[in-house]
Amino acid sequence: MLFNNAGVMNLPTRLTTRDGFEMTVGTNHLGHFAFDALIWPAVRRSPAARVLTVSVIAARWPLGKLDDLMSDNNYSGMAA
C-alpha cells in the first residue's frame, strides 16, 4: 500500500521548490505525483495494490484560484 499524506499547509510567506513551484502545490500535489510515478512498478507487483491519498478539510474550502495556481500574483497560505 502506498500512503500519501500532505506535507505543508498555510506557510506564512510564499516559498518555492527547487524547481520553482509554489511550495504547497509542489509538496502536497506534484511531489506525491512524482514519487508515486517512481515507485508505481513496485506497487503494481502487489496482488492487492492500493494508493491512499489523504488531505485536510481545508481542501474543500473554495479558496484556490486556477488562474494563479502557483500564487505568483497574490499569495495566501490558506489559499495555496
Q: Which residue has the cell 489559499?
A: 79
Per DSSP, 16 falls in state: B
* Cβ(27)–Cβ(7) below 8 Å: yes
**Per-residue confidence (pLDDT) for residue 20, from 0 to 100:** 94
Band of pLDDT at residue 19, cut at 50, 70 and 90: very high
For the chain, report the end-to-end CA distance as a whole number of angstroms. Answer: 28
Band of pLDDT at residue 60, cut at 50, 70 and 90: low
Residue 10: how many CA atoms within 13 Å on its side-chain side?
5
Percent with pLDDT over 70 in the chain: 88
Grid coordinates representing 68? 494563479
* Cβ(24)–Cβ(80) below 8 Å: yes
